[in-house]
Chains A and B, each alone.
Chain A
């Protein structure tokens, strides 16, 4: 990122922060809903364990995972596809294409600003959620693990954002990309570990779950804090980086090819 791009990004970030500040009740309401799903999962799993169920992971692992999952989901999520597709379909993209600034930079600024605001609201909720289960929380003390966690989060966020650009850019070809976006969200929900930890899925699915990309968006960042095996983590970091590069390349190819088909609807 050049200095001028960084300055534009900061200006857009400030702008987004000002906009978000106008929606005072939307954020707490949204974040309360974000924390609700893992809370229900946590209560269901702990109830099942109390009644004799034997999941393939420890109770500490399960509790820590489900307390962290709302934070990770928030930080690695993206919501650009819908807006990008709409701007392509309606021709509103014109306003960005005639400026010396990428529309994706503006979307990234929106993404980062909104995540910071969401995190500020979410963290107190997570702390409240963690208090009753603090005896079963098992978080590493080594700063290196937290750095790796931050890196994995950034990579997961980059991957989701790139996939969003791919899905949104399909609007250059199709009238409606809602179905693709919905399918992608369902796949992410189920295969990322956002609802059910991948570690408790059937053992036969192991090779598939380790290979598919969605697990590197939510489950892998949490594993960087919970996984004791360094070799496993190194392999995970490499696989995640490979998926990020692939997603970025796909986003670039689809965007550039799509722009050639752009009609700029409307006068």
Chain B
């Protein structure tokens, strides 16, 4: 079954996942008791999650640690079998792990290597060529292109164990993209990378999305990744989708007012009420929450406090927005 362009790549309804495990009692006495009696605990990691992702979208799946986002991703890529609900990805049931399904997806685990450790990246790519049935000509062209894009042409023949973390992550990306997947799961793709490498990876993911229409599901704790890549974010909290929309809507949802940064030629002479509400921003600058007061009135007032040389309105950072959204009620049951 082919995925129709108009159909969502991911369709999840009422998705749920329950884990059962045995609690480890505390202390030596507890451990001995545990030999004879074990207490089973059931945790509902995901509950009633609805999600629809269209072809070519870049969606950020975000949430605090333990919110259930990794479990969601693992169900989407067929690693875990959902306990409840229906799930269709690329027109298939992921848990069936059919050859067609696995040929259409790709996963980058920031913390788990897909490359073979003791051989070169080129050798790993050759194995994937066989697995995904890529023709020799296509393979040569794609490897050359990915090598250029990712700046890894010179290290393709170096054993993976001798690569730096940044080089390894770029090689992991090359391996993940070799077969031009319809859907790419990127789990912390920039973890551990330096600033320059992070920018390279983000640009590449953007290029891949634009050039091939690859749908990308991103999970990351790096809000710069989220801001640079995603059109839409889904915030998972306590196993449910607590928010689904674009970044502007997320900022509005968080309700954190923008700030005004005022820079003066000399130290300003602030009225006591402004002094209380403001914070310092450099030796001659102050930062104020932008309230209901119209901006022209604020500029007019600010000009009276000293010789104003700059005036900027700053939106709340995404880290701050996410922190606010994550902390709003809804603890794990």
Beyond A91-B112, A99-B102, A263-B80, 8 additional contacts (C-beta under 8 Å) are: A4-B133, A11-B129, A94-B107, A97-B97, A98-B102, A100-B102, A264-B74, A266-B111
User: In the complex where A100-B102, A100-B131, A267-B187 touch, is A94 in contact with B118 (Cβ < 8 A)?
Assistant: no
User: In the complex where A11-B130, A98-B78, A101-B131 touch, is A92 in contact with B99 (Cβ < 8 A)?
Assistant: no
Inter-chain contact B79/A98, CB cutoff 8 Å: yes
Binding site for B on A (CB under 8 A): 4, 7-8, 10-12, 15, 18-19, 22, 91-92, 94-95, 97-101, 259-260, 262-264, 266-267
Inter-chain contact A18/B19, CB cutoff 8 Å: no
State how many angstroms separate the Cβ of A264 from the closest Cβ of chain B: 5
Inter-chain contact B123/A15, CB cutoff 8 Å: yes
Q: Which residues of A contact B79 (CB under 8 A)?
A: 94, 97-98, 262, 264
Q: Which residues of B contact A10 (CB under 8 A)?
A: 130
Q: Which residues of A contact B70 (CB under 8 A)?
A: 267
Inter-chain contact B131/A95, CB cutoff 8 Å: no
Q: Which residues of A contact B126 (CB under 8 A)?
A: 11
Closest to B131 in A: A101
Most B CB contacts (10 A, CB to CB) among A10, A91, A98 go to A98
Closest to B104 in A: A100
Inter-chain contact A8/B131, CB cutoff 8 Å: yes
Closest to A90 in B: B112
Report the bound CA distance from A222 to B249 in whole Å.
74
Closest to B185 in A: A98
Partner of A262, one of B80, B112, B133, B188: B80
Q: Could you name 7 residue pairs across A and B whose Cβ atoms are closer than 8 Å?
A: A4-B130, A19-B118, A95-B109, A95-B114, A100-B103, A263-B80, A267-B109
Q: Which residues of A contact B128 (CB under 8 A)?
A: 99
Q: Which residues of A contact B106 (CB under 8 A)?
A: 98
| Cβ < 8 Å to A, chain B residues 68-100 | 70, 74, 77-81, 97, 99
Partner of A267, one of B81, B105, B111, B116: B111
User: In the complex where A262-B79, A266-B111 touch, is A98 in contact with B119 (Cβ < 8 A)?
Assistant: no
Q: Which residues of B contact A264 (CB under 8 A)?
A: 74, 79-80
Number of interface residues of B (CB under 8 A): 35
State how many angstroms separate the Cβ of B314 from the closest Cβ of chain A: 33
Q: Which residues of A contact B116 (CB under 8 A)?
A: 15
Closest to B20 in A: A261
Inter-chain contact A95/B113, CB cutoff 8 Å: yes
Q: Which residues of B contact A94 (CB under 8 A)?
A: 74, 79, 107, 109, 112
Closest to B79 in A: A264
User: In the complex where A11-B126, A99-B102 touch, is A266 in contact with B77 (Cβ < 8 A)?
Assistant: no
Q: Which residues of A contact B295 (CB under 8 A)?
A: none
Inter-chain contact B119/A18, CB cutoff 8 Å: yes
Closest to B133 in A: A4
User: In the complex where A91-B112, A266-B111 touch, is A97 in contact with B127 (Cβ < 8 A)?
Assistant: no
Q: Is B243 an interface residue (CB 8 A)?
A: no
Q: Is B264 an interface residue (CB 8 A)?
A: no
Q: Is B132 an interface residue (CB 8 A)?
A: yes
Q: Which residues of A contact B77 (CB under 8 A)?
A: 98
Closest to B159 in A: A22
Report the bound CA distance from A263 to B70 in whole Å.
11
Those 7 A-B pairs whose CB atoms lie nearest each other, nearest first: A100-B102, A11-B130, A98-B107, A8-B130, A264-B79, A101-B131, A100-B99
Report the bound CA distance from A22 to B119 in whole Å.
10
Inter-chain contact B112/A95, CB cutoff 8 Å: yes
Report the bound CA distance from A144 to B107 in whole Å.
50
User: In the complex where A8-B131, A100-B131, A263-B19 touch, is A18 in contact with B123 (Cβ < 8 A)?
Assistant: yes
Inter-chain contact A19/B119, CB cutoff 8 Å: yes
State how many angstroms separate the Cβ of A195 from the closest Cβ of chain B: 34
Partner of B188, one of A4, A100, A101, A267: A267
Inter-chain contact B127/A12, CB cutoff 8 Å: yes
Closest to A105 in B: B131
Inter-chain contact A266/B112, CB cutoff 8 Å: yes
Q: Which residues of A contact B133 (CB under 8 A)?
A: 4
State how many angstroms separate the Cβ of A101 from the closest Cβ of chain B: 5
State how many angstroms separate the Cβ of B315 from the closest Cβ of chain A: 30
Q: Which residues of A contact B74 (CB under 8 A)?
A: 94, 264
Most A CB contacts (10 A, CB to CB) among B81, B112, B187 go to B112
Report the bound CA distance from A99 to B102 in whole Å.
6
Closest to B179 in A: A100
State how many angstroms separate the Cβ of B92 from the closest Cβ of chain A: 12
Closest to A2 in B: B99
Report the bound CA distance from A10 to B127 in whole Å.
9
Report the bound CA distance from A4 to B113 in whole Å.
24
Report the bound CA distance from A263 to B116 in whole Å.
23
Q: Which residues of B contact A7 (CB under 8 A)?
A: 130
> B174-188: contact bitstring with A at CB < 8 Å (1 yes, 0 no)?
000000000000011
Inter-chain contact B119/A15, CB cutoff 8 Å: yes
Q: Which residues of A contact B113 (CB under 8 A)?
A: 95
Q: Which residues of A contact B111 (CB under 8 A)?
A: 266-267
State how many angstroms separate the Cβ of A47 from the closest Cβ of chain B: 45
Closest to A6 in B: B130
Report the bound CA distance from A22 to B109 in whole Å.
27
